Structure 1
């Protein structure tokens, strides 16, 4: 607590904001990971369809995007562990 008049309220508000951000980030980690998983599965499904259409290069790029989403999710899991 600061001894200067008017600063105590600001410090409390700042701590409340940080506390709210901490809780929000905890929820966001799970949301982001699940969201990425959903898109990754969809990408892999469509990569197979593109391959079946004879669009091998396109399929490869969609698979690459799915792999990147998986990597992003792995990074988010590690971020969540370190939080």
Structure 2
């Protein structure tokens, strides 16, 4: 396995990892909102959005490996 294949595998792992965290952030933000902690919920939602942006970058990195 060459270094490019290893990089692709690592990037795919990170994408999966981020997707899992995004789901957790969404559930946690809802729990915080239900507890009346709206500011904290909003900040956790922001983390979810930032994670989505980082995942987009990881997907672009995979595409760049292929070109």
Could you say whether these structures have the same fold, taking a TM-score greater than 0.5 normalized by the shorter chain as the test? Answer: yes
Match of 1:31 among 5, 9, 13: 13
Shift of 1:20: 3.1
Consecutive unaligned residues of structure 1, counting only runs of 5 or more, are 1-18
Aligned to 2:38: 56
For 1:33 and 1:60, the matched residues in 2 are separated by 23
Consecutive unaligned residues of structure 2, counting only runs of 5 or more, are none
Structure 1 runs of 4+ aligned residues shifted over 3 Å read none
Higher-Rg structure is: 1
